[in-house]
Amino acid sequence: MFKPRLKMLGVEPVGNYAIRISWSDGHSTGIYSYDHLRRICPCEECRAANEEGQE
Ligand SMILES: [Zn+2]
């Protein structure tokens, strides 16, 4: 179960709803909406916000 460590090479905004992240492996350039980032962020603030949104 080895996973190579990815490095973020750069982050740029996409409109005002998302960011594009360039990864060091070169083939996975992802666009992540702020909404999605909130959902996957484990910090207290985002978890609280997520729970509010689901109720
Ligand atoms: Zn957070």
13 has which bridge partners? 19
Task: Report the predicted TM-score, pTM, of the whole model to 2 decimal places.
Answer: 0.52
Task: For residue 3, tell me if it sits in a domain.
Answer: no
Task: For residue 32, tell me if it sits in a domain.
Answer: yes
22 and 29 Cβ atoms separated by less than 8 Å: yes
Query: Distance, CA 53 to ligand 1 centroid (Å)?
Result: 14
Query: Distance, CA 2 to ligand 1 centroid (Å)?
Result: 27
Q: Could you give the CA distance from residue 23 to residue 43 in angstroms, rounded to a whole number?
A: 23
Query: Distance, CA 40 to ligand 1 centroid (Å)?
Result: 8
Task: For residue 19, tell me if it sits in a domain.
Answer: yes
- Model pLDDT for residues 1-55, shown as the tens digit of each residue: 667 677 888 888 999 999 988 888 776 678 889 888 888 888 998 888 878 866 5
- Model pLDDT for residues 22-34, shown as the tens digit of each residue: 888 776 678 889 8
Distances (CA, A) of 20 to 4, 6, 43, 53: 20, 15, 21, 24
Can you give the CATH number for the domain in which 32 is found? Answer: 3.30.2020.30
Domain count along the chain = 1
Domain region containing 41: 8-54
